[in-house]
Amino acid sequence: MAEFLRIYEENPNPKAVEKVVSVLKRGGLIIYPTDTVYGLGCDITNVRALERIAQIKGVKLEKANFSFVCHDLSNLSDYVKQIDTSVFKILKRALPGPYTFVLPGSRTLPNAFKKKKTVGIRVPDNSIAIAIVKHLGNPIISTSIYDEDEVIEYTTDPELIYEKWSHIVDLVIDGGYGDNEPSTVIDLSGDEPLIVREGKGSIDIF
């Protein structure tokens, strides 16, 4: 049975954040708030945890399109190839914010992602997610939790999320009500920016 942990976004409690990080370091799966919808995540360096998430999502790990949640852009070069100034300016302008940027993957990607040509990068404008990633020391995976009800495509109530996921994951964070609109996905791996999915983030950033 998963733990249900309340963390306030205004000022995330360091001890609570530490508890979340210890679950991640043990290979646990968490559900956590972002600036869009609640996400299902794990430590990107833990292959067993990654495989569990891929299994939950019904995809093979090597084919899964998970986003990397980073706390800022400082370690970007660990995961993406060198990007030009114009692309970096777009990232600086939009992040932290409700965007996922698809960028060319670097050779130093964690083993599970070595064959990926591109990776999705997220820096959410949510202090809980940022505190967790910063304390962990490397990104966590993010994949949205869907709801079978087509009207409510994404679950927003942490207590309902816990009811549904408590036997599947190791920890659910109650960070208040989430949004029901996903991030805007923009592919910057080609010559021109390509809008893959229009979500919460405005596309007027270019």
Looking at residue 146, its pLDDT comes to: 78
Looking at residue 150, its pLDDT comes to: 65
Domains and CATH numbers, the chain: 3-197 (3.90.870.10)
The residue type at 156: T
Looking at residue 115, its pLDDT comes to: 87
Q: What is the pLDDT of residues 136-170, one digit of tens each?
A: 999 999 999 877 776 677 789 999 999 999 999 99
Looking at residue 102, its pLDDT comes to: 97
**Vertex 51 angle, CA 122 and 121, to 5°:** 10
Percent of the chain past pLDDT 70, that is, above it, reads: 98
